Chain A
Amino acid sequence: MWLWFAKLGSPKWFYELSSKWLPWLVGAMAILLSVGVIWGLLFLPPDYQQGYSSRILIVHVAVAGTSLAFFPLMAVAGTITLVWRMKLADMVAKNAAPLGAWFSFITLATGSIWGSVSWGTWWEWTDSRLVSMLFQFFLLLGVISLRSALEDSDKAAKACALLSIVGCINVVIIKYSVEWWNTLHQPSSPVSLSPDSPNGPEFWIATGIMILAVYLFLAVSLILATRNEILVRERQAQWVQDLVRQE
């Protein structure tokens, strides 16, 4: 177990393992994304109230749900950095922050575009779900600027780890905001695959495929960015220099 853990922390080991996994992850991601998008745009029946604007939701729900994974992910990576000083964990945490900011931004933008027709407004400052998601976006920008502001990379890693752990509180607030303060944003609909559920089973299956696709995309993008980080931080290592020569 400990040997496995130590190995996992080795950038070289991660680089080699991810080289083997990437083609499979990319393949699965491409298939699921294509199925999700084609289904969403061509086959999904119109909602009886929202018409075809409900097609926005399978994208919005998938990106929004996945965006909540970033702070917990960065908090776990940060804890590993703080406790075991594993180099790889900090590389993952560092690259997760900008990607998480992208996710939060796309969540806000797609939600806004949907809200403009279904709620008749692009933005509502009194809605807790909207504001807490905006807060997550700014928190992630905060993590990014904290890292670039601190010159000592060891200190920066520790400060970002702490902020990521604290930031998890906001994830809980986002998640339960719709139940605690019910203003504009609706709570999640109960998932049901039965043919007489209000949304219909095809809506849930399409959403499920999109969620899987977006999670795979998160993994692929984060792995690609982490591999770049490894090449930069480990540039003095023999194996990286060998790899560079082969290019």
Chain B
Amino acid sequence: MLDVIQFSSFSEFLHMGGYAFNVWSVYGLFAVFIMANLFLPLRKKQQILKEQKRRLLFSEAADDAQAPAGDK
């Protein structure tokens, strides 16, 4: 079943028996689809964590400023 690679040269591989545009655009789209839906959520996670950390540090600093001196 896996005994034969269907192409004898790299250019023949790119040519896809005359269906180069169709085959490569579908596999290209598929790659974009997979990558986008894995990396966008990962990037968003970094943004969320960064934003929340900033907010957390800000509110802690505000709490400290409000507390009377020598209270800590």
Contacts and interface: CB of A to CB of B under 8 A. Distances in A.
A43 to B, nearest CB: 6
B22 A56 contact: yes
B68 interface: no
B65 interface: no
Contact of B26 (A60, A99, A220, A225): A60
Contacts, number: 108
Judged by DSSP, the binding face of A is helix
A241 B56 contact: yes
A152 interface: no
Contact of B30 (A43, A110, A201, A231): A110
Interface string B8-41: 0000010011110011011101100110111001
Point out which of A39, A44, A106 has the most chain B C-beta atoms below 10 A from its C-beta: A106
Contacts of A220: 38
Size bracket of the A interface: 35 or more
Given A42-B5, A201-B1, A217 B37 contact: yes
B53 A217 contact: no
A224 B46 CA distance: 12
A76 interface: no
B33 A106 contact: yes
A16 interface: no
B52 A244 contact: yes
A247 B33 contact: no
A227 B45 contact: yes
Contact of B19 (A40, A117, A202, A240): A117
A245 to B, nearest CB: 7
A59 interface: yes
Nearest to B31: A37
Interface in A83-140: 99, 102, 106, 109-110, 113-114, 116-117
A221 B38 CA distance: 6
Contacts of A106: 29-30, 33
A205 interface: yes
B6 A44 contact: yes
B30 A59 contact: yes
A228 B45 contact: yes
Interface in A50-73: 51-53, 55-56, 59-60, 63
Interface of B: 1-2, 4-7, 13, 16-19, 22-23, 25-27, 29-30, 33-34, 36-38, 41-42, 44-45, 48-50, 52-53, 56
Interface of A: 33, 37, 39-46, 51-53, 55-56, 59-60, 63, 99, 102, 106, 109-110, 113-114, 116-117, 201-202, 205, 217, 220-221, 224-225, 227-228, 231-232, 235, 240-241, 244-245, 247
14 contacts: A41-B27, A43-B6, A51-B17, A51-B18, A53-B16, A56-B22, A56-B26, A102-B36, A113-B22, A205-B1, A228-B48, A235-B52, A241-B52, A247-B49
